[in-house]
Structure 1
C-alpha cells in the first residue's frame, strides 16, 4: 500500500506547487479539489455552477459536493497527496471513513505555516492567462510585457478569488473552518509543521525530509 498524504494550510501557502512536484517525483496522484472544481466551473457542469457561487465569494464549497468528487477520483491502490482537502472536520471524518473502507488511512499531514500578510501578497499579485493557463506574479514572476502572457500574447487576468478583499475573507474562512483540523490530526499523532514562508526550493527539500521521501 502506498503513502497517502494530506497537505494542510491557508490559501497561498504553496501547497499546490509542492504537491505537484512531490507527486511527480514519487509517482503519487495529486488530488487538488481547487483544480477539479475550477475545471468543473470552466465546463459549466451542475457541480461547477454550484461551486462557482461559493468560490466567487471566497467561501468553501459544501462538504457533500466535495466528498462525492473525491471518492470518484480516489485510486484503489492509494498513493495520493490530498491538496486542499479535507478543509473541515466533517470532511476529515468522511475521508477517514472512505479510506478505511479501502483498507487505507492517512500516513502524514503536513501543515504549511505562512503569515497572513505573506499570503495576501502572494495571491493578490497573481495573474493568470485565460488562454494557455500560464501563471505570473506582478512582483515575483512578472511577464516580460506588462499584463500580457509571454507564451501566447493574451491579456492576463486576476481571478475573482485572488482579489485582496476575497483573499482576506478566505483567510477568515480558513481560520474558522479549517484550523480545527490541526488539533484533529495532532491528536492522531500524524501532524508535521513546515515553515512555508521560505524559498520554494528550501521548502521542498524540507518537505521531502519530513515525509521520508
Structure 2
C-alpha cells in the first residue's frame, strides 16, 4: 500500500535448490514440508486440542480465498473451515428454502438489533432500498453457521466489511462461544496494478464458466485468430465441450468500476493495522524486482505468458517473471500463492506459540 509496506518474509532455505511443482497438490505437499515442515508440525500440534479464528482482510481479488484454501489443504478439512460472508448471504437468496433449515431457526433466535427482523429480511431480499443490511443480521447468520463447525479453526472472509464492523470483530469470538481461542487479523497487501491486470486479462468459458487469465493463467489450448490478429484461449476442462474463452463485460476497464470498493477495503486494512491487542499476520504478494532472487526461488515468482506465431502459424509460448509497479511506483514481481502461504504459516506458528 502507498506509504505502508509490509515486511518481506522470504522462503529460501539454505542448501535447498530443488525445484517444486507448486501447481500440483503433491508438489505443494513436498514444497511446504521442505520449507516450513517444522512450523506445520507446530501448528498441527496446536490443532490437536485447540482452535483459533482468523479474519482475512484484503482488497477484492487479493487472494483471501486462495490462501485460506491452501491452509485447508495443508491441515485438513476436519481441522480448518473457510467461512465466506458473501457465500453465506448468497445461500439465503432462495429465502423460502432457507427458512425451512435449522440454520434459519438459529439465526432468527440469535438476532439482536435496532432493525426489526422483518425489516432486516426485507433489506436482504431487496424489497427495501432505504435501509442497509444491518451488521447484527450478518453476525446472527455467522453465528448460526459457525454452530455447525464445532472443534474447527475458522478463517473468515468478509468480516469486517465496513469500518463500523471492526469493533464487532474484536469481540466476535465471544459471541460465537470461542472464548479462549486466539483471534488473529490476517492483513494482505497487494498492489492495485496486480488486481487491475488480473481483471483485465480474465476470460471465462461460456459453457462451463471456468475462468482463466490469458496473461497469467492460460489453458493448454492457445489459439490465434488471424482475422483479429489476437491470441485466445480455448477451454480445456475435460467435463466441458470446449470453445473459445471470452472476456467478461466490463473487465477491460480493470479496477475502475470497483475503485470505491478498493478504497474502502484499504481504509479497513489501515484501520486494522493500527489496532492494539489483536495479533496481526502481515502478508504481501509482491517483492521488489531487485530483491526477488534474494528472498525467493524463481519458480515462486508469478510467470507472465508471452505468445508469438511460429512456423505454420503454430503458437509458441514463453514465460518471463511478471513485473508490475507497486502502489509506491517501484517495479516489483508478484508472488505465486504458495510462497505467500509460507509467510502465513511462519507467522501463524509464532502467534499460536506466544
What's the TM-score bracket when you normalise by the shorter of the two chains?
A: 0.7 to 0.9
Report how many residues are paired: 202
Q: For 1:86, what is the secondary structure of its paired residue? A: coil
Normalising by the residue count of structure 1, what TM-score does the alignment of the two structures yield? 0.75
Distance in 2 of aligned mates of 1:44 and 1:127: 32
| Alpha-carbon offset, residue 17 of structure 1 | 0.5
> 1:71: which partner in 2?
143
Counting only pairs closer than 5 Å after superposition, residues 19-34 of structure 1 correspond to structure 2 as 19-26=68-75, 27-34=79-86
> 1:181: which partner in 2?
272
> 2:258: which partner in 1?
167
Question: Whose helix proportion is higher, 1 or 2?
Answer: 1
Picking from 235, 238, 253, the partner of 1:149 is 235
Q: For 2:54, what is the secondary structure of its paired residue? A: strand
| Alpha-carbon offset, residue 10 of structure 1 | 1.1
Distance in 2 of aligned mates of 1:176 and 1:159: 28
| Alpha-carbon offset, residue 30 of structure 1 | 0.5
Question: Do 1:3 and 1:80's aligned partners in 2 also have CA atoms closer than 8 Å?
Answer: yes
Distance in 1 of aligned mates of 2:57 and 2:205: 27
Gaps of 5+ in 2: 1-49, 97-120, 223-231, 287-334
After superposition, the Cα gap between the structure-2 partners of 1:191 and 1:40, relative to the gap in structure 1 and judged at 3 Å, is: same
Superposed CA RMSD? 3.4
| Alpha-carbon offset, residue 31 of structure 1 | 0.8
The answer as to 2:234 corresponding to 1:158 is no
Picking from 198, 213, 218, the partner of 1:122 is 198
Distance in 1 of aligned mates of 2:142 and 2:274: 23
After superposition, the Cα gap between the structure-2 partners of 1:69 and 1:133, relative to the gap in structure 1 and judged at 3 Å, is: farther
After superposition, the Cα gap between the structure-2 partners of 1:175 and 1:113, relative to the gap in structure 1 and judged at 3 Å, is: closer
Question: Do 2:51 and 2:181's aligned partners in 1 also have CA atoms closer than 8 Å?
Answer: no
Distance in 2 of aligned mates of 1:131 and 1:104: 47
| Alpha-carbon offset, residue 94 of structure 1 | 2.6
| Alpha-carbon offset, residue 208 of structure 1 | 1.2
| Alpha-carbon offset, residue 29 of structure 1 | 0.3
Normalising by the residue count of structure 2, what TM-score does the alignment of the two structures yield? 0.48
Larger Rg over CA atoms? 2
Counting only pairs closer than 5 Å after superposition, residues 15-94 of structure 1 correspond to structure 2 as 15-26=64-75, 27-40=79-92, 50=126, 63-74=135-146, 75-94=149-168
Q: For 2:159, what is the secondary structure of its paired residue? A: coil
Question: Do 1:112 and 1:194's aligned partners in 2 also have CA atoms closer than 8 Å?
Answer: yes
The farther-off stretch of 17-26 and 149-158 is 149-158
C-alpha distance after superposition, 1:95-117 (max 9, x if no partner):
34342140245532221111111
> 1:10: which partner in 2?
59
The farther-off stretch of 152-161 and 187-196 is 152-161
Q: Higher RCO, 1 or 2 (CA under 8 Å, sep at least 6)? A: 1
Q: For 2:171, what is the secondary structure of its paired residue? A: helix
Distance in 2 of aligned mates of 1:61 and 1:40: 13
Q: For 1:139, what is the secondary structure of its paired residue? A: coil
Gaps of 5+ in 1: 54-59
Question: Do 1:6 and 1:106's aligned partners in 2 also have CA atoms closer than 8 Å?
Answer: no
